[in-house]
Structure 1
Amino acid sequence: MTTETWDAEYDVVVIGAGAGGMAAALTAKIEGRSVLLTEKTDRVGGSTAVSGGAVWAPLNAQSAKVGHPDTFDKAWTYMRATVGDAAPVSMQQAFLRNCAGMVDFFERNTEVKLVARSFSPDYYPDREGAAMGGRSLDPAMFDGRLLGKHFHELRDPLPEFMVLGGMMITMTDAKHLLAVTKSFASWREGMKLVLRFFSDRLRGYHRGTRLVLGNALAARLFKSVLDRGIDYWLESPLQKLIVEDGRVAGVLFQRGGKSVRVRARCGVIVATGGFPWNEALRGELYPQPAGAWSMSPSGNRGEGISLAREAGAALGTGQTNAAFWAPVSILKRPDGTVVRYPHLVWDRAKPGLMAVNQAGERFVNESTSYHEFVRAMYRSHQTVPTLPAYLVCDHDFMEKWGMGLALPGGRPREHLVRAGYLRKAATLRALGEALGMDGERLEASAARFNALAESGKDDDFGKGGTEYNRYLGDPDHKPNACLGPLRRGPFYAVEVVAGDIGTAVGIACNENAQALDSAGRPIRGLYMAGNDMHSVMGGEYPAPGITLGPALTFGWIAGAHAARSGSHSQSQSQSQSQMPAQAQMQAQDLSTTERVTS
């Protein structure tokens, strides 16, 4: 037995202030436990604050109200059709049986408000069990002024996802702003946004306080942490998990230049955001070539995973992908700084954009999900250099939609050309040669692409062939919302690499979010959440929000289980009675034939 001198004591210690960590801290506090929430950076929010904010939670109470009644059978069939055996069946079922209860719990007890999408297809809508809406929810807009003096402690969103130097917008907002001169309704909505933003700046805020997307979710969680009086420490990196008698009993932090030992009487919950910026783990687990191309905060370096392994926890296995992929374009500024832009939902699916490999040939359905796009890059790269690949468009596309950091509507973009981010040429042949490929081959690929666009059907790769594709296309473009020609010069190209929005490999856990050792036994006192937990999707990407949905759900489960376990929890898996009350009811009530949202 070791004897530690503790500098502070709490019932539950949570490491990492993203969605998973804050969900766990809030749950443990609501369960009546004393809680410490810690964060190694100077901002709260983690990856959540810079994300799109979607939360995938099948069977939620809103799905029927927005026209998509769901059943456990249907959702489970879709999970099997997409995730299959890439993740343990028990963990997939634990997620499905608890995610709706999680949404209800936070709706009742916190500022977290989620709104189901009336139309938002799962990413594989042609697979059995897929839904056209209802399963993915967005955080309701949040007024950042409600955070008061703590607003500056919330992580800012990506600058590339703001306009006017600090105004957050959604896809709907962007469409209004692009149409302000064409529609009175769009002009009115656009003016509301702009006036609110300038009002914020005149009042001294460093950016707009109308928060949407993942920043709104992080802000709502943070506001709830403040309302509940939860102690939180910023700039307090994790140094070690302290083990006593085979149980994780506390944590060693670095705080204010000193080592601080904190006892956790009931449990430690680790949610530090995965390892996308850990070069060694990327080299071990990512396919190659790979690079420092993640859209996650640069502080996500895998300390939680590494120190959990030192405490006896084991990495999960069986995943199909080590990360959740996204094509990313990179701008290198003259001062040496780097800007990364994730090509998620705005440009690739629009009519008039073509993706090619280094041979100047198409290799993918451009309107597929970001995850599948990068998988296609790696597959193509086995025979033809495709890392990097290129997104190609013409003048009309650029003016209407823009591409990556190059904005539409005649906005300045020559600086991007000078920086080498945006390639520009009068003809497709000249563009191909500027990219170091056979210009005639690129020209021929575009001719084939244009012929397919004229027919309205992509016989080669199926662009615009599913409801998900068309959801992101241009509904006014006929006959195919995603398929249009490249005709009018100048022509443009942007280089994209195989980036990610977070990691999928993490510590193996059981249904209670307890970390497991190499023999599959729970480690007493140690829980994982968010991307530090091995993905219940197994590296697959079934729908929008499949990282935040499990992060919130297992954060909720971990917080409640730790709070109810006490300082002398048993080493074996805990019973269902120690799950959150809502989770108990769902596990008892759900059957494979029962409709749960009617």
Structure 2
Amino acid sequence: MTIAESFDVVVVGSGAAGAMAALRSADLGMKVLIVEKAHKFGGTSATSGGVMWIPNHGLDGDAGDSRESALRYLDATIGVPVNRERLEAFVDEAPRMLHFLKSTGVQVLAAAWPDYYPDRPGARADRSVIVPTFDGRRLGDGRYALMREQYNRFKLFGRYAMDLTETFALMMQSKGWRTVAGKMIGRYWLDRGTRKVSHRDKRFTQGAALMGATYEQVFQRGVELRLETSLERLLSDEGGQVTGVEVSSFGRRYTIGARHGVVLAAGGFEWNQELRDRFFPIPGLTRHSSTPEDGNRGEALIAAERVGASTEHTEQGWWIPTMTLPMKGASNFHEIHQAAFDVGRPWSVVVNRKGVRFVDEACGYDQFGQAMVRDQLETGANMPCWLIFDAKFRRKFSAGGLMPTVHTPEKKVPADWWDHYVFRADSIEDLARKIHLPVEAVTQTVANMNAYAKTGIDPEFGRGMNPYDQMFGDPSSTPNPNIGPIDTAPYYAVPINNGDLGTKGGLRCDARARVLDQAGNPIPGLYAAGNNSGTPFGDTYPGAGATIGPGMTFGYVAANDIAERSGNQRGMEAGRPGEVRAYASTPA
């Protein structure tokens, strides 16, 4: 097949990893193309919280973090063998990537977000980095509406964009939360210029802020982006070097040459049931995933396997509890709602189908999902499990997509939700019967939680007894912000599925983001980053942003390696002011 056009670098996928690979490559003077199969760009990253986990980032000067502290923490949390060189490369390169991003004009801020294992050696509460609100109109009207929009769950009333501060104020109904909501609504409708262009709020927040600010720099550097363009296969020469891609767009297939490298950054395989069945110990269902529907199907992983690539950590997902509700206005269709923090609120408990607890419900959402997998393997009575709560919880907190009564009073809950998606009864015993759980076990579990609420001590799992749990608890519940008596009728239950934020496993790569073959040798010209590659963390989720942080880091590393090997080393500074890194050539 004749190659009609060529670029120095072809990036497959437009999420955070792909955007960084393209930005860094273009900044180093290379001609770059991004191909994206969806109608909109930004990938899963644009719909996410937009947090980057970057240890030792140095944004606040010498804040006490260090390479050694980061590695000590990671060593204390990772439970499976990992590529040590690749893990250390992440720790070393992540701060350089962040300072490069900042040097391009993207504003970044450290957030006070505890690591997900706060009791482990080396844990901190400042390694998660965010991008503040970005004006999406800066992308230009043609691109502003073409970046993937966030889910309704990240917007007030499915319309008004929320930053993290606003989100927590509304989620916790903190003092002044009604004023916060009013300002958000007023700001939206007073922006008459944007309302003439699109319904979309011009305030890009969370993942949209990260992707909007990054893509502003990507486009300024002349990177070409092609939407509705799917990877069909990788092209390689007789020596096994990847030389380009074959793509399709609305049925038309054509080839694109890559003079120096192809970077696969097309996400994981969570929407491919066949791959889930092949890799996961408990496959779960694609429709329980909380990533864009039918988006990440593993096409790039499959294409790489066809040219000899190997995989790693594919038994793991970035787990998060989810629940299902009918779509408003179209009840035959369903929406997936995250319940990451809902399951650990006071006045509630989570039980398996035996009616007993199996985890500290307020732990990190990935740990919660791992506990669901373990419990399912041990008892066969999980997936789904059940979140049980009382009227006090219902008044104040969401339960997945069921909003608190201040937003959705009982009379506004659609009739088809009751006793199919959300269950309600006047007693715990009747509720247990309604959801077919053993009554005696459930009543004993609730009695135990009520006793723990008095002492503030959870002797079973330590719920609410560490800084991470407490961050998402309710200070009004004392002595433990995550435990409160479940004693006020009516009582409710919703089924909780083991959803995901993507897959942890993918193509096996080395410390330079080069894809490795079955023998562990780099496939020339082929790189991977983000969930398209195996996580450097193995089976763990060390902190908020542990998907995007490594994704962007290895996108950056891939671009540096391509530039070095091509001899195009313009601007090879590490990104940290005053520091220049030498890139010694290494044989493939």
Q: Same fold (TM over 0.5)?
A: yes
Contact 2:266-2:531 at 8 Å conserved across structures: yes
Percentage of matched positions with identical amino acids: 33
Q: Does 1:526 align with 2:526?
A: yes
Q: Which runs of 5+ in 1 are unaligned?
A: 570-576, 590-598
- Output the amino acid matched with 1:195: G
Contact 1:25-1:37 at 8 Å conserved across structures: yes
Q: Does 1:31 align with 2:28?
A: yes
| Counterpart pick for 1:365 among 360, 368, 372 | 360
Three-state SS of the structure 2 residue aligned to 1:301 is: coil
Give the aligned partner of residue 319 of structure 2: 325
- In structure 2, do the counterparts of structure 1 residues 192 and 274 end up closer, same or farther at CA, with 3 Å as the change threshold? same
Tell me the distance in 2 between the aligned counterparts of 1:156 and 1:308. Answer: 29
Contact 1:63-1:135 at 8 Å conserved across structures: no
| Counterpart pick for 1:239 among 210, 218, 232 | 232
- In structure 2, do the counterparts of structure 1 residues 178 and 305 end up closer, same or farther at CA, with 3 Å as the change threshold? closer
Tell me the CA shift for residue 587 of structure 1: 7.4
Tell me the CA shift for residue 260 of structure 1: 1.5
Larger deviation, residues 193-202 vs 422-431: 193-202
- Output the amino acid matched with 2:309: A
Larger deviation, residues 221-230 vs 540-549: 221-230
- Output the amino acid matched with 1:376: A
Three-state SS of the structure 1 residue aligned to 2:140 is: helix
Give the aligned partner of residue 17 of structure 1: 14
Give the aligned partner of residue 586 of structure 2: none
Three-state SS of the structure 2 residue aligned to 1:127 is: coil
Tell me the CA shift for residue 177 of structure 1: 4.0
Contact 1:561-1:579 at 8 Å conserved across structures: no
State how 1:89-108 maps to structure 2 within 5 Å.
89-108=84-103
- In structure 2, do the counterparts of structure 1 residues 546 and 63 end up closer, same or farther at CA, with 3 Å as the change threshold? farther
Give the aligned partner of residue 189 of structure 1: 180
Tell me the CA shift for residue 547 of structure 1: 0.5
Give the aligned partner of residue 308 of structure 1: 304
Contact 1:64-1:134 at 8 Å conserved across structures: no
Contact 2:172-2:397 at 8 Å conserved across structures: no
- Output the amino acid matched with 2:469: N
- Output the amino acid matched with 2:312: G
State how 1:341-352 maps to structure 2 within 5 Å.
341-345=337-341, 347-352=342-347
Contact 2:26-2:223 at 8 Å conserved across structures: yes
- In structure 2, do the counterparts of structure 1 residues 314 and 580 end up closer, same or farther at CA, with 3 Å as the change threshold? farther
Contact 1:62-1:134 at 8 Å conserved across structures: no
State how 1:412-423 maps to structure 2 within 5 Å.
412-413=409-410, 414-415=413-414, 417-418=417-418, 420-423=420-423
| Counterpart pick for 2:574 among 579, 582, 586 | 582
Give the aligned partner of residue 114 of structure 1: 108
Tell me the CA shift for residue 442 of structure 1: 1.4
Give the aligned partner of residue 424 of structure 2: 424
Give the aligned partner of residue 471 of structure 1: 471
Contact 1:63-1:134 at 8 Å conserved across structures: no
Tell me the CA shift for residue 549 of structure 1: 0.4
Three-state SS of the structure 1 residue aligned to 2:519 is: coil
State how 1:404-483 maps to structure 2 within 5 Å.
404-410=400-406, 411-413=408-410, 414-415=413-414, 417-418=417-418, 420-483=420-483
Three-state SS of the structure 2 residue aligned to 1:418 is: coil
Tell me the CA shift for residue 491 of structure 1: 0.7
Three-state SS of the structure 2 residue aligned to 1:43 is: coil
Tell me the distance in 1 between the aligned counterparts of 2:556 and 2:254. Answer: 27
Give the aligned partner of residue 370 of structure 2: 375
CA RMSD, Structure 1 to Structure 2 (Å): 2.3
Tell me the CA shift for residue 142 of structure 1: 0.8
- In structure 2, do the counterparts of structure 1 residues 384 and 240 end up closer, same or farther at CA, with 3 Å as the change threshold? closer
Tell me the CA shift for residue 86 of structure 1: 3.3
Q: Does 1:213 align with 2:203?
A: no
| Counterpart pick for 2:129 among 115, 137, 156 | 137
Three-state SS of the structure 2 residue aligned to 1:49 is: helix
Q: Which runs of 5+ in 2 are unaligned?
A: 584-588
Normalized against structure 2, the TM-score is what?
0.92
Deviations 1:335-354 (A, max 9, x none): 53221111123x22221120
| Structure 1: 4+ residue segments shifted above 6 A | 586-589
Contact 2:284-2:498 at 8 Å conserved across structures: yes
| Counterpart pick for 2:246 among 238, 242, 252 | 252
Tell me the CA shift for residue 179 of structure 1: 8.1
Tell me the CA shift for residue 12 of structure 1: 0.6
Deviations 1:295-339 (A, max 9, x none): 12222100111101111211125x7x5211111111245653221
Tell me the CA shift for residue 213 of structure 1: 1.1
Tell me the CA shift for residue 191 of structure 1: 2.7
Tell me the CA shift for residue 565 of structure 1: 1.8
Contact 1:44-1:153 at 8 Å conserved across structures: yes
Tell me the CA shift for residue 436 of structure 1: 0.7
Larger deviation, residues 83-92 vs 135-144: 83-92
Contact 1:11-1:563 at 8 Å conserved across structures: no
Tell me the distance in 2 between the aligned counterparts of 1:89 and 1:327. Answer: 30
Contact 1:392-1:492 at 8 Å conserved across structures: yes
State how 1:517-596 maps to structure 2 within 5 Å.
517-566=517-566, 580-582=572-574
Tell me the CA shift for residue 80 of structure 1: 0.6
| Counterpart pick for 2:81 among 73, 83, 86 | 86
